[in-house]
Chain A
Amino acid sequence: MTPVLELRDVALRHRGSAVDAVQDISLAVEAGHSLALVGESGAGKTTLLRLLLGLARPTAGTVRFDGAELSLRDREQMRRFRRSVQCVFQDPYSSLDPRRRVGAVVAEPLRSLGIDTRSSAVPKVAAALDRVGLPADAMDRYPHEFSGGQRQRIAIARATVCHPRVLLADEPVSALDVTTRVKVVDLLAELKQEQGLTLVMVSHDLSVVASLCERTAVLEHGHVVEQGDTAQVLGHPAHPYTRRLIDSVPRLPA
Chain B
Amino acid sequence: MIPADTLEAARPEGAPQGGRRARVSATLVVGSVLAGLIALLAVVSLFWLPYPADDTSGGRLAGPGGGHLLGTDKLGRDLFTQVMTGSRIAVEAGLGSVLIAATIGIALGVLAAFAQGWFDDTLSAFLDILIAFPTLLLAMLIVAARSATLGSAVLAIGLAQSAVVARLARILVKRVLTQDYITAARISGTSWPRIVLGHVLPNIWPTLVVNLALQFGLAVLAEAGLSYLGLGAPPPNASWGRMLQEAQATFTTAPAGALAPGVLLVLLVVGVNLVADGLRETLDPATGRRRS
Q: Which residues does chain A contribute within 8 Å of B12, judged by CB atoms?
A: 144, 147
Q: Which residues does chain B contribute within 8 Å of A135, judged by CB atoms?
A: 2, 6
Partner of A97, one of B4, B11, B181: B181
Of A30-38, A88-96, A229-237, the one with at least 4 CB within 8 A of chain B: A88-96
Closest chain B residue to A133, Cβ basis = B3
Encoded as 1 (CB less than 8 Å from any A CB) or 0, chain B from 162 to 198 comes to 0000000000000000011101111111110010000
Whether A113 contacts B199 by the Cβ 8 Å rule is no
Whether B6 contacts A133 by the Cβ 8 Å rule is yes
Known: A79-B189, A94-B179, A113-B189. A150 touches B5 (CB 8 A): yes
Of B63-71, B135-143, B145-153, B284-292, the one with at least 4 CB within 8 A of chain A: B284-292
Is B10 close to A, CB under 8 A? yes
Is A153 close to B, CB under 8 A? yes
Whether A150 contacts B289 by the Cβ 8 Å rule is no
Partner of A144, one of B179, B184, B289: B289
Whether B188 contacts A109 by the Cβ 8 Å rule is yes
Closest chain B residue to A94, Cβ basis = B180
Partner of B6, one of A93, A94, A150: A150
Is A228 close to B, CB under 8 A? no
Partner of B181, one of A79, A94, A148, A187: A94
A113 to B180 Cα, complex, angstroms: 19
User: What is the number of residues of chain B that contact chain A, defined by CB distance less than 8 Å?
Assistant: 33
Q: Which residues does chain B contribute within 8 Å of A179, judged by CB atoms?
A: 4-5
A134 to B2 Cα, complex, angstroms: 7
CB distance from B209 to the nearest CB of A (A): 13
Known: A86-B187, A108-B188. A183 touches B3 (CB 8 A): yes
Q: Which residues does chain A contribute within 8 Å of B10, judged by CB atoms?
A: 145-147, 150
Is A13 close to B, CB under 8 A? no
A135 to B1 Cα, complex, angstroms: 10
A29 to B291 Cα, complex, angstroms: 34
Q: Which residues does chain A contribute within 8 Å of B286, judged by CB atoms?
A: 98, 144
A94 to B178 Cα, complex, angstroms: 9
Q: Which residues does chain B contribute within 8 Å of A180, judged by CB atoms?
A: 5
CB distance from B86 to the nearest CB of A (A): 39
Q: Which residues does chain B contribute within 8 Å of A144, judged by CB atoms?
A: 12, 286, 289
Is B237 close to A, CB under 8 A? no
Q: Which residues does chain A contribute within 8 Å of B11, judged by CB atoms?
A: 147
Encoded as 1 (CB less than 8 Å from any B CB) or 0, chain A from 73 to 94 comes to 0000011001101110111011
Is B19 close to A, CB under 8 A? no
Additional A-B contacts beyond A95-B184, A97-B185, A183-B3 (7; CB < 8 A): A85-B187, A87-B184, A98-B286, A112-B194, A134-B6, A144-B286, A147-B5
**Would you list 5 pairs from A and B whose C-beta atoms are within 8 A, ordered by A residue?**
A95-B180, A95-B183, A112-B194, A135-B2, A150-B10
The 10 nearest A-B residue pairs measured at CB: A95-B180, A149-B5, A109-B188, A112-B190, A82-B189, A94-B180, A112-B189, A89-B180, A113-B189, A97-B181
